[in-house]
């Protein structure tokens, strides 16, 4: 049985173009999403261990916002209040 496909070169080029677009989108989307959240995915060092930040309760962010500083000061003030009692 022989199957004849008309314009097979044109259809093969379209299929390859669609395949290249799909692959490029799957590779680009994590970088775009990471850049919007100030987090860029790292492919090579995903399983590397993080160095301890000195805080046993959480990992510190490099950029601390004003809100984070206010919450931290509130927590410290509450701790001092309860330790005085």
72 Cα distance to chain centroid = 26
- Residues 1-52: tens digit of each pLDDT: 677 778 889 999 999 999 999 999 998 888 777 777 766 556 666 556 666 6
Place of tokens 């995915």: 41
pTM of the predicted protein model: 0.39
Q: Is the pLDDT of residue 61 over 90?
A: no
**Environment class of 42 (CB within 10 Å of its CB; exposed 0-12, middle 13-18, buried 19+):** exposed
The total of other beta-carbon atoms located within 10 Å of residue 30's CB is 13
**Tokens standing for 83?**
């330790």
């Amino acid at each position: 049985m022989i199957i004849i496909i008309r314009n097979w070169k044109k259809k093969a080029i379209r299929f390859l173009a669609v395949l290249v677009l799909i692959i490029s989108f799957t590779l680009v989307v994590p970088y775009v999403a990471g850049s919007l959240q100030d987090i860029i995915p790292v492919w090579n060092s995903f399983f590397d261990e993080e160095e301890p930040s000195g805080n046993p309760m959480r990992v510190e962010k490099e950029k601390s916002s004003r809100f984070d500083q206010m919450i931290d000061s509130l927590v410290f003030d509450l701790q001092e209040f309860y330790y005085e009692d």
